[in-house]
Amino acid sequence: MKSLSEIETTSKRASKAAGYSWGISEEVGKNIRILEMFGLPGIKNLTEYYNIKKENKFEYLKFVNKENKMKTYQFCPIISGISFLDQIQSLDKLQEIKFEKLAYPLLFLPFLSRGSEIVGKRLLLKLDNNQFILNFNISIFTNFIKNEIINVTNLASVRFLENSDSFSEHEWSQLYKLSEETFVEENERLKKGAAGAGLTDND
C-alpha cells in the first residue's frame, strides 16, 4: 500500500512534469492526498488525465463566473479548481456556479473541499448524476461509490449551502427538554454560593 506521503510527493512531481508550475503542482499533490484519504480514486483519475493531456488540449479557466461555458476545449479541472479556490471569497456571493464540460471533474473536487473550509460553508457538487457534499474539508458525503474514472461531466454545478440547522425548532426543543433532566434546581443558598463569585458584582 502506498502511503499518503508517497501519493502527495509523486502527484506533485508528476504535475510539474505534466507542465504545471511548482506552486500549482504543490496544490495537486495535496489534493490527490485528500481524495485518496477520503477513499476517492485520485491517482486513477490523475494518471489518466495526464495521459490524455499529452494528446489533447484543455481550456484554462482563469476567472470563474456564474456560468462557465467552454469555447473550444473541455475545461482543465486543475486550473478551474485553482481559480475556484483562489476566488472563492467572491464566488460565495453567486450561490450556484455552473461549468459546462469539465474534464476529469474528480480532480476539481478537492479544491472545493478545501474551499469549503475557507468560507466555512458546505458545498454541494453535482456531476451529472453524482452528488458530493463537501463538509469543511473534514469529510465528503456522496452517492458516488465506484472506484472509477469520470472522463468528463456535461454539467458540473457547485452550490454554496447556507449554514442552517438540519432540524426543526420543535425537534430541538424536545431534545433540549430532555437534556434539562441532567440539571439541578437551585435553592436560595445554592444561588448565592454555588457559582463561586462574590455577593456583589463589583466587590
Partner 1 sequence: MKIELRDPNILMKLSRLGSFHQSKLSFLRSFLNEFKTWEFKKDLFDLNESGYGTAVYSLRKEKRIYSLICFSNELKESERSDRVIATKWDAAFTLYDGVPSKQDIERLRSEVPKQEIGRLSYKELTLSRANKSLRAFDHVVENLSKGKQPDVNFLSKVGYLYRTTAVYGSGKFGLADRFRIKNRKEIYGPFRLEMMLVYLVRQFTFDQVNHIAKYKNPKKAINLDDKICRNLGIGNSTGLGMAPFIVNHPTLLNNWIMSREKALKKIREIKNVKKEDIKLFLSCLKKSIKNITSWNTNSEYQQKKIKDLLNDLNKFIAFFERNINFSELYLFNNIYLWSEKNLGEECIEYIVSLMIEPYDDIANSLISQMSSDEDKYFNIPTNRTVEDLRKIIEAKYSEILKIDFSKKENNQNFWFISKNKEEPRLANRFEEIGGDLEQPLAIARDIKKLYEVLDVSKNSSTIDNFLAHNNDLRHVVRRAFIAEKFPYSEIQDNIIGRSLVPIDMLRLKLSFFGAIKFDPRSDKWLRISMFQGAPLPHELKNHNDQWVYNSLN
- Closest CB to partner 1 among 2 and 189? 2
150-156-46 Cα angle (round to 5): 35
The Cα 141–Cα 182 span in angstroms is 34
Least spacing, CB of residue 4 vs partner 1, in Å: 5
How many Å separate Cα 160 from the centre of its chain? Answer: 10
Which DSSP string do the residues of 86-97 spell out, in sequence order?
A: HTHHHHGGGSEE
- Closest CB to partner 1 among 2 and 54? 2
Residues near partner 1, by CB under 8 A: 1-6, 13, 21-24, 26-27, 30, 62-63, 82-83, 85-90, 114, 118
- Closest CB to partner 1 among 80 and 130? 80
Least spacing, CB of residue 170 vs partner 1, in Å: 39
Question: How many other C-beta atoms lie within 10 A of the C-beta of residue 158?
Answer: 25
- Closest CB to partner 1 among 32 and 150? 32
| Sign of the four-CA dihedral 138, 166, 122, 103 | positive
For cell 420543535, the residue is 170
Least spacing, CB of residue 20 vs partner 1, in Å: 8
Least spacing, CB of residue 32 vs partner 1, in Å: 14
